């Protein structure tokens, strides 16, 4: 497989976009901390006490909702295993054609997770 100049330019543009985003985030954080520092220095000169507060805003302390994890995991397992079965069926040679069923346990696991979620949700109503 050979890559063209356009593929390289797309890769470089993507890398430059990621680096630029990180730079802008760090620069805005630095400016915000500098402004807070200047405000605190001015308040100290005037003798105004300032309350302590965290320099970084706290993120969302709430964890993931366990009711949403099971259907997401079931959907991911089911879709990946069905996709893998299709790819294996299409690409394997004739002598190894029976191995397309190898991801079938993951598909059953995904269907089981989805079934459990919907049955559990229906019984709780």
- Tens-place pLDDT, residues 49-60: 877 766 666 666
What pLDDT was estimated at residue 94? 85
What pLDDT was estimated at residue 42? 87
From residue 77, give the alpha-carbon distance in Å to each of 80, 93, 115: 5, 25, 13
% pLDDT > 90, the chain:
48
Is the pLDDT score of 121 beyond 70?
A: yes
DSSP-based helix, strand, coil % in the chain, nearest 5:
75, 0, 25
Burial environment of residue 100 by CB neighbours within 10 A (0 to 12, 13 to 18, 19 or more): middle
pTM of the full structure: 0.49
Question: Residues 95-118: what's their mean pLDDT?
Answer: 92
């Amino acid at each position: 497989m050979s890559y063209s100049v356009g593929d390289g330019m797309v890769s470089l543009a993507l890398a430059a976009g990621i680096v630029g985003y990180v730079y802008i985030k760090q620069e805005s954080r630095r400016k915000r901390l500098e402004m807070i520092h200047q405000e605190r220095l001015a308040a100290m000169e005037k003798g105004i006490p300032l309350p302590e507060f965290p320099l970084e805003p706290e993120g969302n302390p709430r964890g993931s909702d366990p009711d949403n994890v099971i259907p997401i995991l079931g959907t991911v397992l089911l879709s990946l295993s069905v996709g893998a079965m299709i790819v294996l069926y299409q690409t394997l040679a004739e002598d190894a054609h029976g191995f397309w069923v190898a991801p079938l346990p993951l598909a059953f696991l995904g269907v089981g997770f989805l079934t459990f979620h919907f049955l559990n949700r229906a019984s709780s109503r």
